[in-house]
Amino acid sequence: MRPRTPAADPAERPTAAALLAATPGPAASAALAAALPTAATREHEAMVAALLRRGEGGGRLALVRHLHRLGPRAAERVYAVPDHALDAAVRRAFGAGTDATRNALRLIAERRLCHLAYLVVDATSLPRPDLADEAAAVLVSLAGDAAPGSTEAATLAAAVDPAVAAWGRPAPRGAGGPVEGHGGLLTAFLLLAGEPSPLCEAAFAEPSHGALPPLRRRVAAAGGAAERGALLPLLAVEPLRSAALAGLARAARERPLRGVFPQPALLSEPAVAAALAAAAEPGSLCPRAWPAEASPTERRCLVDLVAALPLPPATRSRWVALALADPEPAVRAAALKLVVRDLAEAGDPALLAAAAALAASAATPEARLAARVVAAAPEARRGPHLAALHAAADPAVRAAAEDAEAAEAAQRLLAELDRLDGPARARALADCRARPGGERALRARLAPAADATPARRRALVALAAAMRTPAGSAPPLGRVEAADEAWAALEARLPDAGDPPPALRLPRMPGALAS
């Protein structure tokens, strides 16, 4: 007898699926798609690759419909398909049964297909609660991960806003009761509250709008991240403003403003700033104590919040002083801006003292800025604090104090210039130039006012000429050498001075100037 040939290993025999994958034509593609749900897991990867390669709509729809049946490697191939390549299949899957809808939601969530979010919004109103809940979860996930101001956020808002605007209105063609939608829609709306929403704002102008009561309750409670993140932008929406202020007060009291500032720039938006400036109880919108455990960004935003609120001066000063002692440089720098604003207004001595303490504390950029702030304060108010600046280890801080004192000396000299005789002027000039930065401060103030008297101009020319000699060797200011050159030096600092007036037209030879 002839020996029997051993049967081939089943794992090595070509399968029907493999044969179909290698067979061209639409009939083979349709058969391959039909075989997908019953094929063995080891065959899935080749079948998926073949259907993707062929690119036919029926084959791609089969991939979405049966995504939950595919092995991990085959499913990974589907998830790796370039954006928009499966859009048509995903749209068709929403009407192709429960599993297909769930698979389409998974694809949109995993691939962040925000341009298909309108399908997810529609799915939140499906009659099956489990599918509606899953669609809401996908929508909230997409909205929560979208960066504020991004194209993704704008695309999602364009899908969510019409559904929220239609909340509580009669169903189409009078079928059933009012359309309430899913609570996840409101969560997504709150997560996207920083995006412009003219459609919803117009709809909310109707006092009986169905979405207003649940939104007001959620915003006022400020119980979740979505609600806290929406507080600032909703201050600009008049029907929700009171609820947003109540939520902000609650967040300040219970969670030291955690999660309230996902978009710090909103604090400078005119509508938001106006709402804060008009707050009836501004103190309730601040935490009970400085939130040291909050993030640096949140502490920095708290300074801006303090600036925007109509707080009593003493309350604002207390917050600014706390901010000046914060370890974060950006927080201290923001607080210094408020010190500058305070100096231009009423002026709190405690704030200037806090700024001086910061200036003397360490060699940091904000300490140097604080030194400049103190040095720029009116002379009578900065005087007690210059000693602290002189004792600082940072040379730049000490220089700020020296410049302030030099400016005072220069100002005194110029103020008394008309009343001093030649020797007295010389002594005053020598004293001013002997100070660090004194000559620089004097030159910066040398230009005469347009309405200066001839005597004043003569005195300034004499001063300018004397300053052309090295410090310590200035001639008495009763005589000036090279007066024309002195006028030229002065004229450079006097816009539109023109030629010297007749009283100052002097001969080129050394001449005497009246004191």
Rounded to the nearest integer, the mean pLDDT of the chain is: 76
Please list the residues that pair with 170 across neighbouring strands: 178
Quick one: pLDDT at residue 386?
78
> Considering Cα of 187, then 193, then 194, then 195, what sign does the dihedral take?
positive
CA Rg, the chain, in Å? 38
Please list the residues that pair with 511 across neighbouring strands: 480
What number is the average pLDDT over the span 155-174?
80
190 closest CA partner among 129, 246, 148: 148
- Asked if residues 242 and 278 have their Cβ atoms less than 8 Å apart, the reply is no
What number is the average pLDDT over the span 350-369?
77
In the structure, what pLDDT confidence band is assigned to residue 247 with cuts at 50, 70 and 90?
very high
pTM above 0.75, yes or no: no
Per DSSP, the three-state class of 290 is: coil
- For residue 330, which amino acid is it? A
- Asked if residues 362 and 391 have their Cβ atoms less than 8 Å apart, the reply is no
- pLDDT, tens only, 479-495: 333 334 444 444 444 43
Quick one: pLDDT at residue 501?
38
Look up residue 274 and give its two tokens.
């106006």
Quick one: pLDDT at residue 387?
78
Distance CA 505, CA 502 (A): 5
- pLDDT, tens only, 364-405: 777 787 777 777 777 767 777 777 787 787 788 788 777 777
Contacts of 468 (CB under 8 A, 6+ apart): 482, 485, 486, 489
